[in-house]
A and B are shown apart, each in its own frame.
Chain A
Amino acid sequence: MSSETTLTTAPRADFEDDPPPTRSRWSLLSGTDRAVVWSMVLLPLAVHVAFVWVPAMASVVLSFTDWNGISEIGWIGGQNYVDATTIYPLFWPAIAHNVIWLAVFFLVATPLGMFLAVLLDKEVAGTRFYQSAIYLPVVLSLAVIGYITQIFLAPEQGMINSALDLDIDWLGNSSINLWAVLVFASWRHAGYVMILYLAGLKGVDPVLKEAAQIDGATQSQTFFKVVFPVLRPINVVVLVITVIESLRAFDLVYVINGGINGLELLSVLITQNIIGEASRIGFGSALAVMLLVVSMIVIVPYLFITYRDMQEA
């Protein structure tokens, strides 16, 4: 899924409407059947753990070493973290860029997607077409979107410069290139958020909206006071997706210039420290752990919200 965050919420309604347990009684199973069930669960999970959690945990261990991939592994405590935050010149710019990325997604792209979903939910003529068109960028890879970005922003022939007769180096000027790239990243993200909200809005009981309007609520009051709170599970999913997608951002900047000169991101720095000539495994791992910790700040609450709902059932 390249760098795609996909999520759903637990279908709570199913549990509430469906009190009889759907699980078979474990004690009735024969020994063979028990072994089959355990193998069906544990063998695939072993693949997941071996290639996802083992490396993630190994990042934590390696972050306390000075390993370069060849030498003996030496333990240096928190030195990599100190170096990253004090003497590594790209660290703070990358953090700043990730924060800007998140802020633009959170304040612009996500609300825009939500707004478009509300408009599309009114089902004027042609809605199906509008919906497909707005969703279209989401099926494109971020690499392809990177190339499309270049068609628009290339300094000499680029669409924007040749249309407006400007001479701006959109992608080469490090004080504006992040913002220029974010226009295209938002183009895609808004479509993604739109489709999630649209599905949520279709599930809202129309009686709620009608009741609010009969009570004299305006359109925006109806949305913010009545519909938005009902959409809580979708809001949680969209929030998590917005944060994680901002942390995962990589492909787009990597295609454009390899993630340098104003387009540094934490994800790019991690990658640069392991591929290429200077292989700094320990240092790269320390950067990865910082990304891991920030991700966990949204992942862990999300898991608790989702599975608390499931366990109540």
Chain B
Amino acid sequence: MSTATSTDLAPDVTAHKRTAGRTWLSIALGLTTAVWLVPIIAAVYTSLRPFNETAAKGYFSAPDTLNFDNYVTAWTQANLVQYFLNTLYITVPAVVITLFLSSMVAFGLSRYSLKFNVILLMLVTAGNLLPQQTLITPLFRMFLAIPLPEWLSDSGLMYDSYFGIAVIHIAFQMGFCTFVLSNYMKAISKDLTEAAVVDGASVWRQYWSVILPLTRPALAALGTLQFTWIYNDFFWARVLMASGDKRPITSALDSLQGLYFTDNNLIAAGSVLAAIPTLVIFIALQKQFIAGLTLGSSKG
């Protein structure tokens, strides 16, 4: 195969060909991006228009009126503030505790040669991959059967409590975080902990003061990712909570759905509001977000 073509050709011809190719590539990507953004733009556009107008003209029409009335209605009538607070009560503790517990397991499994190291890692990795519905039936009964003190749950049960939803997120997400963190910690040099051992540091000190600070980039990336996933949860809160007024925002949006007719403009406004926190996080922390998803996978 002696076809060193491109290098033998006149350089201006290849350069020209390459520029033309890149122009086409830019056009193709620009068009794809435009198509990709249409659904999001359409949702925002619909949310700014009054129901009566779109009922008469259809969603695909020039606007007569553009205002924030739907947002005001969604915010005041549908009690969105409460739903956002519910999300906060569940998501923040769930993310923090998931990272804390996973980092401990990862520390133990990656820094010490325990028996069953690999089997335990396989167990949590597999657990995180199960479709939620494979465990929901017994879990639902467990949540109904486990009593909680009143200060933790006003229902007196795991079922229909912020605590219960946070616990299932923690248990489920721990798999992925443990897997990522143990890979990360394994790459940290042994010399660092050895030095701490010489200084007489306990295992806990090695974890808390030596390893954990070095794991900060991975924790930041995972935290961003986990916040988004838990925020976006629909299934757990839908099945394991009875009361509409305790549900987090993602699974409570249908309270905007009327009994007799659906005001999609109002729901669009609610959807945009619900999406804002994840969009802000994505735009502000895009690097963290993508790092969390691809941590480790780019090194294969």
* A263 at the binding interface (Cβ < 8 Å): no
- Contact between A141 and B234, CB atoms less than 8 A apart: yes
User: Can you list the 8 inter-chain pairs with the closest CB atoms, starting with the nearest?
Assistant: A1-B229, A162-B58, A233-B300, A216-B3, A141-B232, A58-B138, A199-B294, A51-B171
The count of chain B contact residues (Cβ–Cβ below 8 Å) is: 129
Identify whether the interface residues of A are mostly helix, strand, loop, or mixed.
helix
A266 to B4, CA, bound (A): 55
* A47 at the binding interface (Cβ < 8 Å): yes
Q: Nearest Cβ distance between residue A239 and chain B, in whole angstroms?
A: 12
- Interchain CB contact (< 8 A) of A2 among B122, B134, B229, B267: B229
- Interchain CB contact (< 8 A) of A152 among B42, B129, B132, B204: B42
Q: Which of A53-74 contact B (CB under 8 A)?
A: 53-56, 58-59, 62, 69
- Interchain CB contact (< 8 A) of A6 among B108, B121, B293: B293
- Contact between A9 and B136, CB atoms less than 8 A apart: no
* B298 at the binding interface (Cβ < 8 Å): yes
Identify whether the interface residues of B are mostly helix, strand, loop, or mixed.
helix
- Contact between B33 and A291, CB atoms less than 8 A apart: no
**Residues of A contacting B228 in the complex (Cβ-Cβ under 8 angstroms):** 1, 139
A11 to B32, CA, bound (A): 32
Q: Which of A137-187 contact B (CB under 8 A)?
A: 137, 139-145, 147-148, 150-152, 154, 156-163, 184, 187
Q: Nearest Cβ distance between residue A251 and chain B, in whole angstroms?
A: 4
* A90 at the binding interface (Cβ < 8 Å): no
With A22-B186, A24-B190, A126-B29: A3-B132 Cβ-Cβ less than 8 Å: yes
* B101 at the binding interface (Cβ < 8 Å): yes
Most interface-central of A2, A18, A33 (chain B CB within 10 A) = A2
- Contact between A195 and B290, CB atoms less than 8 A apart: yes
* B90 at the binding interface (Cβ < 8 Å): no
- Contact between A251 and B235, CB atoms less than 8 A apart: yes
* A278 at the binding interface (Cβ < 8 Å): no
**Residues of A contacting B189 in the complex (Cβ-Cβ under 8 angstroms):** 22
* A119 at the binding interface (Cβ < 8 Å): yes
With A48-B171, A202-B298, A266-B133: A163-B25 Cβ-Cβ less than 8 Å: no
The count of chain A contact residues (Cβ–Cβ below 8 Å) is: 133
- Contact between A292 and B134, CB atoms less than 8 A apart: yes
- Contact between B297 and A196, CB atoms less than 8 A apart: yes
Q: Nearest Cβ distance between residue A115 and chain B, in whole angstroms?
A: 10
- Contact between A234 and B300, CB atoms less than 8 A apart: yes
**Residues of B contacting A21 in the complex (Cβ-Cβ under 8 angstroms):** 190
Which residues from chain A sit less than 8 Å from chain B, CB to CB?
A: 1-15, 18, 20-24, 26, 28-29, 32-33, 36-38, 40-41, 44-45, 47-56, 58-59, 62, 69, 116, 119-120, 122, 124-127, 129-130, 132-137, 139-145, 147-148, 150-152, 154, 156-163, 184, 187, 191, 195-196, 199-200, 202-203, 213-216, 231-234, 237, 240, 244, 247-248, 250-251, 254-255, 266-267, 270-271, 273-275, 281, 284-285, 288-289, 291-292, 295, 299-300, 302-303, 306-307, 310-311
- Contact between B278 and A140, CB atoms less than 8 A apart: yes
Most interface-central of B129, B207, B229, B271 (chain A CB within 10 A) = B129
- Contact between A24 and B36, CB atoms less than 8 A apart: no
Which residues from chain B sit less than 8 Å from chain A, CB to CB?
A: 1, 3-7, 22, 25-26, 28-30, 32-33, 36-37, 39-40, 42-43, 46, 54-55, 57-61, 101-102, 104-105, 107-114, 118, 120-142, 167-176, 179-180, 183, 186-190, 193-194, 197, 202-204, 207, 225-226, 228-235, 238-239, 250-251, 253-254, 262, 264, 267-268, 270-271, 274-275, 278-279, 281-283, 286, 289-290, 293-300
Q: Nearest Cβ distance between residue A222 and chain B, in whole angstroms?
A: 12
A10 to B231, CA, bound (A): 27
- Contact between B107 and A11, CB atoms less than 8 A apart: no
With A37-B108, A148-B42, A159-B42: A295-B130 Cβ-Cβ less than 8 Å: yes
- Contact between A130 and B29, CB atoms less than 8 A apart: yes
**Residues of B contacting A144 in the complex (Cβ-Cβ under 8 angstroms):** 250, 253, 271, 274-275
